[in-house]
Amino acid sequence: MVRTRIAPSPTGYPHIGTIYQVLFDYVYAKQHNGKFIMRLEDTDQARFVPGSEDVIYKSLEWFGLNPEESPKIGGPYKPYRQSERLPIYQKYAKELIEKKHAYYCFCTKERLDEMRKEQQAKKMNPMYDKHCRNLGQKEVNKNLENKIPFVIRMAVPENQTIILNDLIVGEVKFESKTIDDQVIIKADGYPTYHLAVVVDDHLMEITHIFRGREWLPSTPKHVLLYQFFEWKIPEHGHLPLILNSDGKGKLSKRFNHASVDYYHHLGYLPEAILNYLANLVWFHEGGKEIYDLNEFIKLFDIKKIGSQGARFDLQKLDWVNGIYIRNMKQETLNEKIMDFYKDKNLPKDIVLKTIPLIQERIKKLSDYLPLCEFFFKAPEKYEVDLANKKDFFKQVHQELEKVTDWKTGLIGESLINLAKKLEIKNSQFFMDMRVVITGKKISPPLNESMEILEKEECLRRLTID
């Protein structure tokens, strides 16, 4: 059975790149009637941010990409938190030592610093010089008895070509002489990512590993570990990088639009974000650009993932999000807007009435209130100076008072007649009207808005001081 996994580290709000990876994990698993699971890689205590685990679940839930096994819900391969699996890594590290694929390293920090300095001076890549790899068994035992602090390193073979057939990148070759004798157990007894990821992916029977291209340089170490243990290597698919909008470099965590939270707060729709993320690197043969998650599960073909990094383009995301908003039932959009602005206590019935006026215009939920606030609150300032227009508005007031059936068509008719009578150009007339009613030069259609506002309120807004 296909099993895919997300293995986030609890280091804060999930990055949009995490969701991008989950999307492919999830879709691939669902497409093959498999399972998508989550494991928490929390062995790096220095980077631990309290509360992250919960935020990860919330984000996955928001996107509807829920794992079927996780630290929270458990499952047959528990525990799913690496910090609760420490004895397991110890056991496998010992096994590698016995098989001579790993060794104890007692080098002090001072020695390692010295070594690195020398290598830098010689313009060599910093790599462990394998000093402890050939220590005699007696010396090792003595050091262990004397409780000399140690790490465990993998013994990378001298001259081996490591080949990975990546589902997305194709064949990738690495020369073992370029690979460091990686630490697999740290001095504090915790495993490093490399050992833990391989042991867990194996024990949790993960069949397909999707992750960002930035992880590719780690993979030969993992391939070696699988070979040392004589385990089957799962399929790997290294996804194209998401690049910053200027096309330079990986979408950096420093930009706030890298965090999932940013999109949540701006009122992007999770289904539109997923569609956009799929679109970034995956191409439908027929050129289809809009497909929801269920459709994507049907359409997806891993061979159609591009090999180039893709530029994150907020304008394109706005475009996709706008389409999802346009395609939504009015009642659904009403619910979404109410939920998005839940602390504002907007009147739901009025919001519903405004939807036909704005559905085509807004790109994200947070566009709603700047456009529609005037429905709920009379303008406090005007974008155009209306100080010398008092008399004009008085005349409009008199005219509109006569409209008994307060409907868009009749309001418009009455205003056009008055403009004619006063010999004011329609454009000028309606601009002033728009500003006095909405406060702004650009607004939803005026006559329709006035109908929703109702007669009394419109007349009130025509009296300015």
Regarding 236 and contact with ligand GLU (CB under 6 A), the answer is no
Closer residue to ligand GLU, CB minimum distance, 85 or 211: 211
Among the listed ranges 1-9, 178-186, 263-271, 337-345, the one in contact with ligand GLU (CB under 6 A) is 1-9
Regarding 220 and contact with ligand GLU (CB under 6 A), the answer is no
Among the listed ranges 4-12, 88-96, 109-117, 428-436, the one in contact with ligand GLU (CB under 6 A) is 4-12
Q: Are 152 and 105 in contact (CB under 8 A)?
A: yes
Regarding 155 and contact with ligand GLU (CB under 6 A), the answer is no
Helix, strand, coil percent values for the chain (each to nearest 5): 50, 10, 35
Question: Shortest approach of ligand GLU to residue 8 CB, angstroms?
Answer: 5
Regarding 208 and contact with ligand GLU (CB under 6 A), the answer is no
How many whole angstroms separate alpha carbon 261 and alpha carbon 59? 8
Q: By CB under 6 A, name the one of 38, 185, 195, 197 that touches ligand GLU.
A: 197
Closer residue to ligand GLU, CB minimum distance, 8 or 71: 8
**SS3 annotation, 434-452:** HHHHHCCCCCCCHHHHHHH
Regarding 8 and contact with ligand GLU (CB under 6 A), the answer is yes
How many whole angstroms separate alpha carbon 243 and alpha carbon 248? 6
Closer residue to ligand GLU, CB minimum distance, 216 or 290: 216
How many whole angstroms separate alpha carbon 311 and alpha carbon 248? 8
Strands 242-243 and 310-311: parallel
Q: Are 273 and 293 in contact (CB under 8 A)?
A: no
How many whole angstroms separate alpha carbon 202 and alpha carbon 460? 72
Q: By C-alpha distance, which of 48, 81, 41 is closest to 197?
A: 41
Q: Are 358 and 372 in contact (CB under 8 A)?
A: yes
Question: Shortest approach of ligand GLU to residue 311 CB, angstroms?
Answer: 21
Closer residue to ligand GLU, CB minimum distance, 40 or 365: 40
Question: Shortest approach of ligand GLU to residue 51 CB, angstroms?
Answer: 16
Closer residue to ligand GLU, CB minimum distance, 197 or 272: 197
Closer residue to ligand GLU, CB minimum distance, 160 or 218: 218
Question: Shortest approach of ligand GLU to residue 440 CB, angstroms?
Answer: 45
Beta bridge partners of 81: 40
Question: Shortest approach of ligand GLU to residue 9 CB, angstroms?
Answer: 4
Closer residue to ligand GLU, CB minimum distance, 12 or 412: 12
Q: Are 281 and 310 in contact (CB under 8 A)?
A: yes
Question: Shortest approach of ligand GLU to residue 221 CB, angstroms?
Answer: 12
What part of residues 384-403 is at the interface with ligand GLU (CB under 6 A)? none
Q: Is 253 a catalytic residue?
A: yes
Closer residue to ligand GLU, CB minimum distance, 8 or 439: 8
Q: Are 445 and 375 in contact (CB under 8 A)?
A: no
3 state DSSP class of 245: coil
How many whole angstroms separate alpha carbon 101 and alpha carbon 104? 11
How many whole angstroms separate alpha carbon 318 and alpha carbon 455? 36
Question: Shortest approach of ligand GLU to residue 211 CB, angstroms?
Answer: 4
Q: Whose structure tokens read 């006035």?
A: 450
How many whole angstroms separate alpha carbon 164 and alpha carbon 55? 34
Among the listed ranges 2-10, 179-187, 326-334, 400-408, the one in contact with ligand GLU (CB under 6 A) is 2-10
Question: Shortest approach of ligand GLU to residue 39 CB, angstroms?
Answer: 9
Contacts of 97 by beta carbon, 8 Å cutoff, 6+ apart: 103, 104, 152
Question: Shortest approach of ligand GLU to residue 206 CB, angstroms?
Answer: 10
How many whole angstroms separate alpha carbon 297 and alpha carbon 291? 10
Q: Are 206 and 4 in contact (CB under 8 A)?
A: yes
Among the listed ranges 3-11, 135-143, 284-292, 430-438, the one in contact with ligand GLU (CB under 6 A) is 3-11
Beta bridge partners of 35: 3
Regarding 9 and contact with ligand GLU (CB under 6 A), the answer is yes
Q: By CB under 6 A, name the one of 7, 162, 293, 435 that touches ligand GLU.
A: 7
Nearest 5 degrees, angle CA 16-CA 22-CA 27? 130
What part of residues 14-53 is at the interface with ligand GLU (CB under 6 A)? 41
Q: By CB under 6 A, name the one of 30, 153, 211, 363 that touches ligand GLU.
A: 211
117 token code pair: 């300095």
How many whole angstroms separate alpha carbon 141 and alpha carbon 132? 13
* Per annotation, catalytic residue among 130, 253, 316, 440: 253
How many whole angstroms separate alpha carbon 334 and alpha carbon 383? 28
Closer residue to ligand GLU, CB minimum distance, 260 or 396: 260
Q: By CB under 6 A, name the one of 215, 226, 229, 430 that touches ligand GLU.
A: 215
What is the set of active-site residues?
253
Residues at the interface with ligand GLU (CB under 6 A):
7-9, 41, 197, 211, 215
